[in-house]
Amino acid sequence: MKDKPNLTLVAPFRDLCKMGGLMILICMVVSWMFIHRWSQRNKKGPKTWPFFGAAIEQLMNYDRMHDWLVNYLSKSKTIVVPMPFTTYTYIADPANVEHVLKTNFNNYPKGEVYHSYMEVLLGDGIFNVDGESWKKQRKTASLEFASRNLRDFSTKVFKEYALKLSTILSQVSFLNQEIDMQELLMRMTLDSICKVGFGVEIGTLAPNLPENSFAHAFDTANIIVTLRFIDPLWKIKKMLSIGSEAQLGKSIKVIDDFTYSVIRRRKAEIEDIKKSGQQNQMKQDILSRFIELGERNATDKSLRDVVLNFVIAGRDTTATTLSWAIYMVMTHAHVADKLYLELKKFEENRAKEENISFPQCDKEDPESFNRRVEQFSRLLNKDSLEKLHYLHAVITETLRLYPAVPQDPKGILEDDELPDGTKIKAGGMVTYVPYSMGRMEYNWGPDAASFVPERWYRDGVLKTESPFKFTAFQAGPRICLGKDSAYLQMRMVLAILFRFYKFNLVPGHMVKYRMMTILSMAYGLKLTIERRS
């Protein structure tokens, strides 16, 4: 009879083997990861991990991602960033940007990935679609932006709300209060773009600064859809309706309820006007024009997408640029002085041309001061504002360093090779980075990081740069249709503000950007205000 095995010895031996196997597996994984990291010691872009790619480093630097990219792009004009389910290629070389935005334009659409991230907010609007849908909307929009009726209507609206803003600033200055300038500018641009876009007065810039559910929901939605770009779990959170995606759903409902109610009301108004035969009573806002010009059979959903795309383009971008411009001017005293002198001289020359005699402004009397601001505003129109060359340079230099859209990703349909030799694969994303491009010495010289409005002059004449180098308004077939309108509003507002006010940053207030699709300030822009005569 054979002896039975001694189980008291076998069991520990078996457990030891299991532990040994586990240790070998762990050592193999650690070694693999070490070899993977060692193989990247000369890599120009961010280092990656197996499975996770560069997602860990991106998440760790999320709140400062634009400067994170500046660091890498200053060393290499193109960096490749692998992610768990895709690859991002970031470019800052104008030659590569031209290739993507113009030369091989059809290979770099917005793409399905970008569309899926932004669809809940932008739907199938002009900034979120490709192909025939984009071409159709672009054609209609380009006709409208070239329309004198829309330009005149916009000019009137921009001046109206710039004066409302001035009235609030005047009151704040007389009461020696602190204000958040970015919040006021967001209110002003929301009111003005809703007037131009919807034809409605929503009143967020009223003197008592009322809360507005549409504005709050719009900001919340913007922040959350931006987070989707680096959040691999957003689809799961959306499916389960939890976390940020649950909050996003609530915000979109508020946005849609407001937008659809305006659309239905406007359609009914247009029908009533047609029945009465009073076509001259037709409103000139963008929604009305899209209903009228080739969009009579458009669904409420398509009209909703059209208008919200213009709201996000005309509200956030303008308000943030104005905020950064004020911050840049107030922190560069010589720029503030030069700009004030240009506006004073402009006022004197225009008054002579118009044969107007302005009474002396009593800056200690609120009524006198506000009346003087209103009188100055009468000198401002599209043509006269274009004569303010230094103001234009200040705005343009602000956009170079603080572009409203700091990153702009594109999809990749087919494998391609960029002019610098970088090979990119279909299915990934390529992103040109205006924020980084404006800070690159290889684009702008050794003073690239400095705020120098004078760089936009050559022999006393305003100069222009290639849109593939100065990319604040994109370039190629998708170049921004609202560029002239944006400059018009920014000139109008800043001409009034810098002529009659001096701004001072509240001591200790931190100014930094917030990660959104638009380059807004994370903590606002807290200021005190002094009046100028």
**Rounded Cα distance, 201 and 154, in Å:** 14
3-state secondary structure of 358: coil
> CA triplet 519, 523, 525: central angle to 5 degrees?
85
Q: Is the torsion defined by CA of 336, 338, 343, 344 positive or negative?
A: positive
**How many Cα atoms occupy the beta-carbon half-sphere of 230 within 13 Å?**
20
Residue 128 and residue 118 in contact, taking contact as beta carbons nearer than 8 Å: yes
Tokens 């009209």 -> residue: 303
- Nearest of 471, 483, 487, 400 to residue 102 by alpha carbon: 471
Burial of 227 (0-12, 13-18, 19+ CB in 10 A): middle
**Per residue in 263-285, is it b (16+ CB within 10 Å) or e — as a string?**
beebbebbeebeeeeeeeebbbb
Q: How many H helices and E strands in the chain?
A: 21, 11
Beginning with the edge strand found earlier in the chain, give each strand of the sheet holding 501-505 in spatial order.
Answer: 179-180, 526-531, 501-505
Residue 183's identity, in one-letter code, is E
**Rounded Cα distance, 125 and 128, in Å:** 6
**Rounded Cα distance, 97 and 104, in Å:** 10
**What's the DSSP call for residue 68?**
H
3-state secondary structure of 343: helix
361 belongs to an annotated ligand binding site: no
Residue 49's identity, in one-letter code, is W
**Rounded Cα distance, 499 and 340, in Å:** 6
The pairing of beta strand 78-82 with beta strand 457-458:
unpaired
> CA triplet 378, 488, 296: central angle to 5 degrees?
110
3-state secondary structure of 448: coil
- What secondary structure does DSSP assign to 245-280, as a single string? HHHHHHHHHHHHHHHHHHHHHHHHHHHHHHHHT-GG
Joined tokens for residue 436: 């980084």
| Residue list, annotated binding site for heme | 480
| Residue list, annotated binding site | 480
